[in-house]
Amino acid sequence: MFSMIDSMYTPLEKRAKVKFDRDDKAVEFMALATKMLKEAVAKIKHELPYIDCEVPEIFVANIPGTTLGQCFYDGSTRGFILLHRNYLDEFDIGYIQETGLHELAHWVVWKIYGSYNARTDSFVKPHGREFRYIMSLLGKYGKAARATRSSPSVDYSIAKMRHEGLDVNHAMIATISQKFTQPRTNSPRAVLAQAAAENKTVAKPAHGKQMRYAYSCNCSGRVHWMTTVSHNRIMRKERSFRCIHCNANIAVKN
């Protein structure tokens, strides 16, 4: 039965199960977030020009619990990002740069892959390789995201802890700063990058991981590292894969 309370909420608010803020400050935050995310989408489209993806609608609300932000999407082109009002009030720019781009990456992954990645023959995980790839295009992983002590990642992490009522001392700040200023040289991504620089065709990214085989496409200098399973399927001519950038079939690197 349709109630009076239901009539007070828009369909999007019913889906998010929260009332959106529409005061002047919320509108200002939404405009700022939309501008920043438009720049991020333009950066993604520069790397992936054939991707049809626009900036989703941005809303602000006091989200229950400790959720920093949410991304809602469906099978059509409709989608929206919900940002937490309290974090915007306390740490607006850094919050948008971190959580806003994080939720945008979820949206872009959904637009590209949906829930299943045919290239890897696997379901898309919330923070899997597809998500990490999109975040890398935004400079949020690797050296680009760990450049300076005063980076938004460091400052936002500290502000978030203070907002949750934690007593942030100098030792905790030093630990957080070290986390973001020292890149991981032994990570699988770093190992494969080093292998590509040394022109290797086979590499093992980490203990317990599958061997990776180097493949090339029409892109200049780009290396695709395929797992043993995918490599064997290609060799048996059961599967073929295309580069997400040039849309050409990849082949074993000589």
**207 domain-assigned:** yes
Same domain, 136 and 203: no
Average pLDDT for 73-102: 74
* Distance, CA of 202 to CA of 109 (rounded, Å): 28
Mean pLDDT (the chain, rounded): 76
Domain count, the chain: 2
Same domain, 111 and 196: no
Last residue of a domain, one of 145, 174, 209: 145
Which residues on neighbouring strands pair with residue 215, listed in sequence order?
A: 224, 252
Read off the pTM: 0.54
Is residue 187 over pLDDT 80?
Answer: no
Task: Give the count of alpha carbons within 13 A of 92, CB side only.
Answer: 13
Same domain, 36 and 125: yes
Tens-place pLDDT, residues 26-35: 888 888 888 8
Give 221: exposed, middle or buried? Use CB within 10 Å, 0-12, 13-18, 19+.
Answer: exposed
Average pLDDT for 158-177: 63
Per-residue model confidence (pLDDT) at position 214: 92
Is residue 146 over pLDDT 50?
Answer: no
One-letter amino acid of 130: E
Name the pLDDT band for 75 (thresholds 50, 70, 90).
low
Tens-place pLDDT, residues 219-230: 888 899 998 888
**155 domain-assigned:** no
Name the pLDDT band for 186 (thresholds 50, 70, 90).
low
Per-residue model confidence (pLDDT) at position 24: 83
Last residue of a domain, one of 145, 175, 206: 145
* Domain boundaries, position 29: 4-145
**37 domain-assigned:** yes
Same domain, 18 and 118: yes
Q: Count CB neighbours of 55 within 10 A.
A: 19
Same domain, 72 and 127: yes
**164 domain-assigned:** no
**170 domain-assigned:** no
Last residue of a domain, one of 83, 117, 145: 145
Is residue 185 over pLDDT 90?
Answer: no
Query: Is 183 within 8 Å of 190 (Cβ atoms)?
Result: yes
